[in-house]
Chains A and B, each alone.
Chain A
Amino acid sequence: MTISLGESRLKSTPKILLCLAGLAVFALLPWTMGVYNQHVLIVCLFYTMMAASWNLLAGYTGQVSFGHAAFAGIGAYVSGILVVKAGLNPWGGVVIGTLCAAAFGFLVGLLCLRMGGIYLSLTTLGFSEILHIVINNEYEITRGTMGLQVPGLIENYSKIAYFYIFLAGALITLAVVYRLVHSNAGLNFRAVQNDERAASALGVDVVRTRLLAFTVSSALAGMAGALYGHYMLLITPHLPSLDQQFLVLSMTVIGGLGSFVGPVIGAFSLEILSEYIRAWGEYHVLVFGLVALFVARFAPKGIVGIYKAWRGKYRAATA
Chain B
Amino acid sequence: MELIKGVGITKHFGGVKALSGVDFKVEQGTIVGLIGPNGAGKTTLFNIVAGAFPPTSGTVHFEGVDITGLPAYKICRRGVARTFQVTRPFGEMSCVENVAVGVVNHQPDASRAVWTQRAVECLRIVGLEGFESTEARHLNVVQKKKLEIARALATGPKLLMLDEVLGGLNSQEIQDAITFIRNLRDQLGLTILWIEHVMGAIMQATEKVIVLDQGRILMNGSPEEVVNDSRVIHAYLGD
Q: Contact residues of A with B, CB < 8 Å?
A: 1, 3-5, 182, 184, 187-188, 190-191, 194-195, 197-206
With A188-B105, A195-B90, A201-B50 given, is the CB distance from A1 to B77 under 8 Å?
Answer: no
On chain B, the residues within 8 Å of A3 by CB distance are 96, 116, 120, 132-133
With A187-B104, A202-B105 given, is the CB distance from A5 to B97 under 8 Å?
Answer: yes
Pairwise interchain contact A204-B101, C-beta atoms closer than 8 A: yes
Pairwise interchain contact A5-B116, C-beta atoms closer than 8 A: yes
With A1-B116, A191-B90, A194-B90 given, is the CB distance from A202 to B101 under 8 Å?
Answer: yes
Query: Which B100-152 residues have a C-beta within 8 angstroms of A?
Result: 100-102, 104-106, 108, 110, 112, 115-117, 120, 132-133, 151-152
Q: A3-B96, A3-B120, A5-B116 are in contact. List 8 more A-B contacts (CB 8 A).
A: A191-B90, A195-B90, A198-B89, A201-B52, A201-B73, A203-B73, A203-B106, A204-B73
Contact among A1, A5, A182, A195 for B88, CB-based, below 8 A:
A195
Pairwise interchain contact B151-A202, C-beta atoms closer than 8 A: yes
With A1-B116, A1-B117 given, is the CB distance from A203 to B96 under 8 Å?
Answer: no
Pairwise interchain contact B102-A184, C-beta atoms closer than 8 A: no
Q: Check B91 for interface membership: any CB of A closer than 8 A.
A: yes
**Would you mind naming 24 contact pairs between A and B with Cβ atoms under 8 Å apart?**
A1-B116, A3-B120, A3-B133, A4-B133, A5-B94, A5-B112, A5-B116, A184-B108, A184-B110, A184-B115, A187-B97, A187-B100, A190-B90, A190-B97, A194-B90, A194-B91, A198-B89, A199-B90, A201-B72, A202-B102, A203-B76, A205-B71, A205-B73, A206-B73
Nearest-Cβ distance from residue B164 to partner chain A, whole angstroms: 16
Pairwise interchain contact B90-A201, C-beta atoms closer than 8 A: no
On chain A, the residues within 8 Å of B115 by CB distance are 184
On chain B, the residues within 8 Å of A203 by CB distance are 73, 76-77, 101-102, 105-106, 155
B side interface size, CB within 8 A: 39
Nearest-Cβ distance from residue B4 to partner chain A, whole angstroms: 16
Pairwise interchain contact A199-B132, C-beta atoms closer than 8 A: no
On chain B, the residues within 8 Å of A188 by CB distance are 101, 104-105
Pairwise interchain contact A198-B90, C-beta atoms closer than 8 A: yes
Question: SS class of chain A's interface: helix, strand, loop or mixed?
Answer: helix
Cα–Cα distance between A205 and B70 once the two chains are bound (Å): 12
Contact among A1, A184, A197, A206 for B52, CB-based, below 8 A:
A197
On chain B, the residues within 8 Å of A4 by CB distance are 133
Q: Check B93 for interface membership: any CB of A closer than 8 A.
A: yes
On chain B, the residues within 8 Å of A187 by CB distance are 93, 97, 100-101, 104
Nearest-Cβ distance from residue A191 to partner chain B, whole angstroms: 4
Cα–Cα distance between A201 and B73 once the two chains are bound (Å): 6
Q: Check B92 for interface membership: any CB of A closer than 8 A.
A: yes
- Would you give the 0/1 interface string for B160-199, flagging 1 where the beta carbon is closer than 8 Å to chain A? 0000000000000000000000000000000000000000
Cα–Cα distance between A203 and B79 once the two chains are bound (Å): 10
Nearest-Cβ distance from residue B126 to partner chain A, whole angstroms: 15
On chain A, the residues within 8 Å of B82 by CB distance are 201
Cα–Cα distance between A205 and B120 once the two chains are bound (Å): 23
On chain B, the residues within 8 Å of A191 by CB distance are 90, 93, 101
Nearest-Cβ distance from residue B70 to partner chain A, whole angstroms: 11
* Chain A residue, CB-CB nearest to B107: A184
Nearest-Cβ distance from residue A95 to partner chain B, whole angstroms: 29
- Would you give the 0/1 interface string for B203-227, flagging 1 where the beta carbon is closer than 8 Å to chain A? 0000000000000000000000000
Nearest-Cβ distance from residue A224 to partner chain B, whole angstroms: 28
Cα–Cα distance between A206 and B110 once the two chains are bound (Å): 19
On chain A, the residues within 8 Å of B71 by CB distance are 200, 205
Nearest-Cβ distance from residue B67 to partner chain A, whole angstroms: 14
Nearest-Cβ distance from residue A167 to partner chain B, whole angstroms: 29
With A1-B117, A188-B104 given, is the CB distance from A202 to B155 under 8 Å?
Answer: yes
Pairwise interchain contact A198-B84, C-beta atoms closer than 8 A: yes
Cα–Cα distance between A191 and B88 once the two chains are bound (Å): 11
Interface-central residue, A3, A195, A201, by most chain B CB under 10 Å: A201
On chain B, the residues within 8 Å of A182 by CB distance are 112
Pairwise interchain contact B101-A199, C-beta atoms closer than 8 A: yes
Nearest-Cβ distance from residue A206 to partner chain B, whole angstroms: 7
Pairwise interchain contact B73-A184, C-beta atoms closer than 8 A: no
Cα–Cα distance between A195 and B101 once the two chains are bound (Å): 12
Cα–Cα distance between A3 and B117 once the two chains are bound (Å): 10
On chain A, the residues within 8 Å of B120 by CB distance are 1, 3
Cα–Cα distance between A116 and B133 once the two chains are bound (Å): 29
On chain A, the residues within 8 Å of B108 by CB distance are 184
Nearest-Cβ distance from residue B95 to partner chain A, whole angstroms: 10
With A3-B116, A194-B92 given, is the CB distance from A200 to B76 under 8 Å?
Answer: yes
- Would you give the 0/1 interface string for B45-70, flagging 1 where the beta carbon is closer than 8 Å to chain A? 00000111000000000000000000
Which 5 A/B pairs are nearest by Cβ-Cβ distance?
A: A203-B105, A194-B90, A198-B88, A184-B104, A200-B72
Cα–Cα distance between A206 and B72 once the two chains are bound (Å): 10
* Chain B residue, CB-CB nearest to A188: B101
Pairwise interchain contact B88-A197, C-beta atoms closer than 8 A: yes
On chain A, the residues within 8 Å of B94 by CB distance are 5
Cα–Cα distance between A182 and B116 once the two chains are bound (Å): 13
Contact among B92, B96, B154 for A190, CB-based, below 8 A:
B92
